[in-house]
Amino acid sequence: MITPLEKISHPPFNPIHDKLYNPLELLKGFQPDNARSLLTTPDFQCFIYFHQQGGTTLSDPYAAMMEAMHDTSVVREMNAFLATELEARRFPVAIMGGHQEKRGSTAYRKVARIAQKLSESGFVVVSGGGPGCMEATHLGALHAGQSADSLTSAINHLAKEPYDKFPKNMQHLIGKDGRSIHEDLLKELHAWMLPAWEIVNELKDQLTPLNRSLALPTWHYGHEPFTPFATHVAKYFLNSIREDVLLTLASCGIIFSEGRGGTIQEVFQDAAHVYYRDKDVDSKAPITSMLFLDSKFWTVPDVPDQGLHMPVLDLLYPLFVGTENMTEEEFKRYIRVVDDADEVVDIIIKNAHSASQIVHKLARIGISNIDSKLMAERAGTFIHPRNI
């Protein structure tokens, strides 16, 4: 059943922020027994407003100004958050992957475990903040410092049918003009979101600095709800800002799990970042790791099968080595297909950049308010021993 939505005449957001979003702030008003309560949350109000104003083709100059001010403010506060994390010797690593990844799948569990271990090893994990592998990233970080069994229990709770799969046809959740809502899809989305909301509310008073993670979702894809497992949310109206920032800030590497169009786009956007890094003798930038999780997906098997494969290394090798952008040894060290979660974490630690190198890279997106002296003093101890 499709019902009308009222016109939102005034921006339902503060265009000037003094901090990043808290997930429960965006979900204020969410009620576990009322699907329509989702419509009243600040997050969904912004989603509706974005579409009612024309999405990326705004016709109202006032709305355009408010959204631009908002996104600029979020970028500024994200920079401040990262500067604080860097000074506390927590360096950013991004995890990318498909939004349709099933809760409880092998890939989902592996991504969550990697994120848990990275968080415990002195890194702050970052993702696009949506469902699937992105959700698994922040669920893992949320369980940093807890047992593997605790993380497994949370995943099992999320993976109960029929809410293990992200609901289909969510692109039709609201009308293109933002003036109508599909009530049946709303109920499905609310029910899918509920177990994650329950877990967050159970853990919200138990968080430590180890659990901090950063999500960068967008109201451009508002029908894919942001994950409440992230402790800090930099949500944007414009997806183009979010994509470039997300790839640039991952100064200690990006882990690519199985995905489709969006993930493949991110692979080659990141490849462009790596390819065009500074290579001058006086300002030579280090290579940032690109790790591809699951060899079955990222390579073509010797014996043909019916599975889907994305052999990206077959293109990345001639791009990087064939053009002498990096040596064969560098390619083998930084551009790798990996199957084991422990090995992924070990590679990230081994290839982690120095404090000065990270400062240099993040300056590209305007993060220059870092106390480099304090960061350098702590750089030698930012990796903590892991209990595996």
Domains of the chain: 21-30+38-377 (3.40.50.450)
| First-to-final CA distance of the chain | 50
- Above 70 in pLDDT, residue 381? no
* Banded model confidence at residue 365, pLDDT cuts 50, 70, 90: low
Residue 127's nearest CA partner among 145, 113, 144, 139 is: 139
pLDDT of residue 245: 83
DSSP letter for 55, please. T
Q: Give the pLDDT confidence score for residue 385 in this predicted structure.
A: 42
Lowest mean pLDDT of 109-113, 189-193, 239-243, name the range: 239-243
- Residue 131 tokens read as 């469902």
Structure confidence by residue, pLDDT tens digits, 17-68: 889 999 999 999 999 999 999 999 999 999 999 999 999 899 899 999 999 9
DSSP state of 34: B
Q: What is the mean pLDDT of residues 3-15?
A: 96
Contacts of residue 315, defined as CB under 8 A and 6 or more positions apart, other chains included, come to: none
Q: pLDDT tens-digit profile of 184-217?
A: 999 999 999 999 999 999 999 999 999 999 999 9
In order of 162, 164, 339, the CA distances from 156 in angstroms are 13, 9, 22
Give whichever of 66-70, 219-223, 357-361 has the largest mean pLDDT: 66-70
**Residue 384: pLDDT above 50?**
no
Q: Which residue has the higher pLDDT, 301 or 94?
A: 94
Q: Which residue has the higher pLDDT, 239 or 191?
A: 191
pLDDT at position 372: 54
Any idea which of 24-28, 222-226, 347-351 has the lowest mean pLDDT? 222-226
pLDDT at position 366 is 65
Task: Calculate the average pLDDT of the chain.
Answer: 91
Predicted confidence (pLDDT) at residue 144 exceeds the cutoff of 60: yes
